Amino acid sequence: MILHELIDYPTLRVIWWALLGVLLIGFAIMDGFDLGVGALLPFVARTDVERRVVINTIGPVWEGNQVWLILGGGAIFAAWPPLYAVSFSGFYLAMFAILAALILRPVGFKYRSKRESTAWRSRWDWALFVGGFVPALIFGVAVGNTLQGVPFRFNEDLRIFYDGTFFGLLNPYALLCGLLSVAMLVMHGAGWLVLKTDGMVQKRARTYGSIAALLTIVLFALGGLALYYLVDGYRITSPVNPAGPSNPLMKGAEMAQAAWFANYRAYPLLLAAPALGFLGAMAAGLGLKFRMGGGVVLLSALSVLGIIASVGVSMFPFILPSSIDPRASLTVWDASSSHLTLFIMLFATAIFLPLILIYTSWVYRVMWGKVDEKSITDGHGHAY
């Protein structure tokens, strides 16, 4: 038996669908609180010292957290080439806006305190806000458009044609998902600040985080209701060969009301995902309001996990539906790399992903503890 045949092709496709979800959830949890802290910076910190406290809570870890974004992009490129081609072409300007905003973060961290000028530092503080708010918003907008379907199609030679525009992505449902993403990550960032700070910064973080948790619950509920009543989902209308070739045009598919809820009707256990999204946000909001300690960040992380997992299990087996030609929609069964490629990647992942987790755990252990104003003003132990 050839080694890669130890795991059959359909199983490998499902494994990589799950691993892609793990990487995206890992990015949302690990780098999500960085984005949330950036979005909160102008509001939870009123003085220069307080702003430096906030910045130094994420300063030592934000670069490592972005590894999850790189891993997710790499996984899409190698495991799901058609998904990479369509999404990075269709969302090109959106991706450019995200990258431009993310570039502001390292520059802001490094240059903010290079001059004593209040105006200089204020401008970089707002740059850090943009670097947190804009990616959080656009990532959510991208998910909202994915749920609605993206205007792409294939010709008979499987050449990709994208018929949408950047401003077409900014539709009401996508913006609702974008606001949900911002609220969710602000809640998560507030939980991190509660864990890492004290005094007035922590107090303000509790206030804004409580509001964000409530908005997360409300927006998640509104998004679900709109998805059921107003936004059509997708379903496959032809027999499926899970081990078939990666050719999206070999199936039939159609749009239908509430189709994204079919998996929940067939497998009620999947309702655990949206339940976790709601309950995690509720628990995090109560923890923030009633002065719970560092456990709030764990509760908000559970909410992030539940909300993102809800999207994945709702859409399965679709990974990127087409709004103009449902037949061209990309699914787990017809948009992956070859059997051998997926197996080699799984082997590499089994080696390197545990190393990343071990190293990340070690970094957080070394950097553990609160950041207070004394550690900023005494000139020792901080970089920003």
Condensed to tens digits (0 to 9), the pLDDT of residues 299-354 reads: 999 999 999 999 999 999 999 999 999 999 999 999 999 999 999 999 999 998 89
**Structural domain count, the chain:** 1
Identity of the highest mean pLDDT range in 198-202, 219-223, 294-298:
219-223
Does residue 234 sit within a domain?
A: yes
Whether residue 377 lies inside any domain: the answer is no
- pLDDT-based confidence at residue 4 (cuts at 50, 70, 90): low
pLDDT above 80 for 53: yes
Structural domain includes residue 274: yes
List the beta bridge partners of residue 234.
255
Domain enclosing residue 194, as ranges: 3-368
| Percent of the chain predicted with pLDDT > 90 | 68
Confidence of residue 88 (pLDDT cuts 50, 70, 90): confident
Sorting pLDDT into bands at 50, 70 and 90, what band is 65? confident
Residue 296 placed within a domain: yes
Whether residue 373 is contained in a domain is answered as no
Residue type, 194: V
Read off φ and ψ for residue 155, nearest 5 degrees.
-90, -175
Angle 273-20-318 from CA coordinates, rounded to 5°? 70
Scanning the structure block, which residue is given the tokens 């499926």?
A: 240
Average pLDDT score, the chain: 91
- Distance (Å, rounded) from C-alpha 25 to C-alpha 306? 9
Does residue 381 belong to any structural domain of this protein? no
Span 280-293, pLDDT tens digits:
999 999 999 887 77
* pLDDT higher than threshold 60 for residue 381: no
pLDDT confidence bin for 3, thresholds 50/70/90: low
What are the backbone dihedrals phi and psi of residue 150, each rounded to the nearest 5 degrees, phi first? Answer: -110, 140
For residue 184, being part of any structural domain is answered with yes
Query: What Å distances lie between residue 3 and 9, 66, 234, 340, 362, CA to CA?
Result: 13, 33, 36, 9, 34
The answer to whether the beta carbons of residues 240 and 253 sit under 8 Å apart is no
